Amino acid sequence: MKRRIMTFMICMIMLASMMVMPMNALASGKYMTVTSNVNLRSNDNINDVVGTLKKGTTVYYTGKKYKAFYQIKTSKGKTGYVFKMYLKDAGSKGEGMVCRVKSNSVLYKKASTDSRKVASLMEGRYVQIISTGDGWAYVRTTNDKKGYIPTSQLKK
């Protein structure tokens, strides 16, 4: 019986660490904002267009460059190259920044505690800030749920 409990606990710990790791790995990277509607170019051939990005989209710059193009990753996991002239640092207002939840909290549909609950967030969970205002942050969780949380509940 003890062996089953220990096996179960180890599995739960491993599962929890896998859920946190993707956002944690991005925490050391650089988030950028797209300044104009742009083409997303293929990783294999810079001349091939594999998609488009809208102005204002926050992307993750991987650190790789090819001539005047930066390799980026979108929030949906798609990677490709964008001409560097159409990217700017997203850190000025906290957008794109990855934070931890200070204590057990609630993710709301709107920026109000009277709003519908989207999810419960455990202490230490990673979230990515999409935007901020009036003491609230609109965030994305590691399992792609979006909602509002008071900025006082977040720490770097």
**pTM exceeds cut of 0.95:** no
How many angstroms separate the CA atoms of 11 and 5, rounded? 10
Count CB atoms within 10 A of the CB of residue 127: 26
Do the domains 98-155 and 1-90 match in fold? yes
Beta bridge pairs of residue 18: none
pLDDT digits (tens, 9 = 90+) for 2-55: 777 767 667 666 655 444 434 433 334 577 888 899 999 999 999 999 999 988
More confident residue, 9 or 74: 74
Write the class of the CATH domain 1-90. Answer: mainly beta
Determine the topology of domain 98-155 in CATH. Answer: SH3 type barrels. (2.30.30)
Does the pLDDT of residue 107 top 50, yes or no? yes
Where are the chain's structural domains?
Answer: 1-90, 98-155
Structure-token pair, residue 140 = 């994305």
Task: Give the CA distances from residue 151 to residues 28, 96, 101, 139, 143, in Å, rounded to whole numbers and listed in that order.
Answer: 21, 14, 9, 10, 20
Task: Give the CA distances from residue 10 to residues 6, 30, 139, in Å, rounded to whole numbers and listed in that order.
Answer: 6, 33, 30
pLDDT digits (tens, 9 = 90+) for 130-154: 887 778 888 988 888 999 999 899 8
